[in-house]
Amino acid sequence: MSSGQEPIRLPGGNVSPVFRVGDTVRRATGPWTPAVHALLRHLERSGFQGAPRVFGIDGEGRETLSYIDGFVPYAPDIPGEIWSDDALVSAARLVRAYHDAVRSFEPPADAQWRFCPGAPTAGEIVCHNDIAPWNTVYREHLPVSFIDWDFAAPAPAVWDVAYAAWRFVPLYYDGIPGSAAEADPAECARRLKLFCDAYGLDDRTGLLGVIQERQQAMYDTVRIWGEAGVPAFAEMWKTGHAVAPLRDKAFVGAFRQVLESVL
């Protein structure tokens, strides 16, 4: 672990600023940090390669994690290659590898989690709860690791699958970011099936409903925490960050029959 080096502010970090110091990443902590660190240490012991390693807390009270070399796509710098079928399949398989690794995790008895409004508070695993391209490290345009685990919390596995499908397919009212083309429901359906096949999701009967629940919960989180003045969320609420999830929810509802027809 490097020390004595000038911190470099990394892109992203909408909720909490992230700094690179040598081969480490430093981030602010919260009441949930001990539980998240227990989770990450379990993943390291289990051999899961798609998450950072925990080094502890630094002298300024920030968590210290391993820096994962690669590219994290943030708007507007999102290469079109991350929307390839190969990247989509890799993302789904990485989600499944995480779920397989986390099933044997037993959270500490005093674990505190950062539950979002409208989200489940129990389930068969601890979900990441924010698996999306902007929380994914890519190498050669393929996902290799998930980052930003602050919202990890117990939930049904399908809650993670629904969010990841929403963001990686993606099921966006406005279509793929960076593309001038409008959203194509038939193409979304094809890619959604590809994601589910790669993950190995056997029961897909309620998936679209969970996706819409997840989209609503995203809106509710930004609204409730934004109106309460929670740092970062207040700015997101003020700048209209919550509008997109409701538009995406409407898109899924409008084309539900098309999406279900291939699942």
d(CA 239, CA 47): 41
pLDDT bracket for residue 1 (50, 70, 90): very low
Domain check: are 254 and 204 in the same one?
yes
User: For 105-110, what is the mean pLDDT?
Assistant: 97
Domain check: are 61 and 84 in the same one?
no
Domain check: are 104 and 145 in the same one?
yes
CATH number at residue 124: 1.10.510.10
Q: How many domains does the chain divide into?
A: 2
- pLDDT tens for residues 170-221? 999 999 988 888 899 999 999 999 999 999 999 999 999 999 999 999 999 9
Query: Per the domain annotation, does 74 fall within a domain?
Result: no
Query: Per the domain annotation, does 72 fall within a domain?
Result: no
pLDDT, residue 77, reads 78
DSSP of 72-140, one letter per residue? Answer: --BTTB--GGGGSHHHHHHHHHHHHHHHHHHTT----TT----PPTTS-S--SEEE-S--SGGGEEEET
DSSP run (H or E) holding 192: helix 185-199
d(CA 253, CA 34): 39
pLDDT, residue 52, reads 98
- pLDDT tens for residues 54-103? 999 999 999 999 999 999 998 777 899 999 999 999 999 999 999 999 99
pLDDT, residue 143, reads 98
Whether pLDDT at 37 is above 90? yes
- pLDDT tens for residues 216-251? 999 999 999 999 999 889 999 999 989 999 999 999
Give Cβ neighbours of residue 92 (< 8 Å, ≥ 6 apart): 164, 168, 194, 195, 196, 197, 198, 199
Domain residues for the domain of 175 are 80-262
pLDDT, residue 176, reads 92
d(CA 65, CA 67): 6
Domain check: are 129 and 205 in the same one?
yes
